[in-house]
Amino acid sequence: MPVEECVERVARGEAPRDVFTARGHPNVTARNQKSLEITKDPYLTKRGNCIVACCSEKAAGELAGDVLGALARGGVVVLILDTGNRWDYVIGETPIATPTSKWRIVVRKSGYVDDSTVAIHANKAASDLDRELVAELKRGVPLRIIVGVCSTI
């Protein structure tokens, strides 16, 4: 399945997905070139340059059951970040593991997998996100997040 078709299927709810909210924060820098993170923590420092949103309603291990199951199999992961005015998306591969983290969600350009990883070999890290989206997140705006998976089987 072409990647663009997967993005459309996830956006329309035709693939396993979970939709939840987080919010930006004045300390969002989104300068990390290797990963991006969404955290449940209510506060972040500028040292957390991979973090793009805080106060998330969900962490990786709390995603919908069908999404967690799909992450453990081969497939394409789509992460859509939408403030209502600006949006961007990230594509990666499933980690072929079920995340268990209760605090964060991480997308990585590398193949490293830990308990918070929902995508590996991603096409974008925090530094690659649309900079107008990042500017909105620095203002602390709410963020709608969609994590979806298209099977390659």
Residue tagged 């079920």 (tokens): 98
For 104-137, write each residue's pLDDT tens digit. Answer: 999 999 999 999 999 999 999 999 999 999 999 9
Domains of the chain as residue ranges with CATH: 3-151 (2.60.120.630)
Kindly report the pTM of this predicted structure.
Answer: 0.96
Task: Give pLDDT < 50 ranges for the chain.
Answer: none
What is the reported pLDDT for 27?
A: 97
The pLDDT of residue 153: 52
Helix, strand or coil for residue 62?
helix
End-to-end CA distance of the chain: 10
Cβ-proximal residues to 30 (8 Å cutoff; 6+ apart), any chain: 36, 49, 50, 52, 126, 127, 129, 134, 137
Per DSSP, the three-state class of 5 is helix
Compute CA distances 82 → 8, 20, 24, 65, 142, whole Å: 14, 11, 11, 23, 9
